[in-house]
Amino acid sequence: MYRINNVKLAFGQLNWDVDSTINDIAQAAVVGVIAQHTFDELLQRIDEDKMNSLLTKAAKRELDKFGVVVQQCKLTDFAECRVLKIMLDTAISKAAVG
């Protein structure tokens, strides 16, 4: 959950797709926090306030410079990584051809 605190920074000179960029930056911050834990630790801590606090702080740190105030960032579920799937599909296709 977030709100835009500084419209000039969010939309101004950069003229970017705000929702997509906020989503991408927040996801990168979340990955940075998640990468520091094992899968079992994440499953055990998914509902803990400490994990949510770490995620929120990481997202705040990254998005503050764009005039975006992160109010809350938390894990709710795990899903297959689409980028990895695309990379694997491409690698399998190349291996079959080559």
Q: Residue 75: phi, psi to the nearest 5?
A: -80, 135
Taking CA atoms, 11 is separated from 65, 70, 89, 91, in Å, by 12, 17, 36, 38
What percentage of the chain reaches a pLDDT higher than 90? 3
- Here the tokens at position 12 are 């101004």
Average pLDDT, stretch 35-49? 79
Q: pLDDT digits over 56-97, tens only?
A: 999 999 888 888 898 888 777 666 555 555 555 655 666 666
pLDDT at 57: 92
pLDDT at 52: 85
Of the candidate CATH numbers 3.30.479, 3.40.50, 1.10.3470, 3.10.450, the domain formed by 2-97 belongs to 3.30.479
Give the H or E element holding residue 25. Answer: helix 18-34
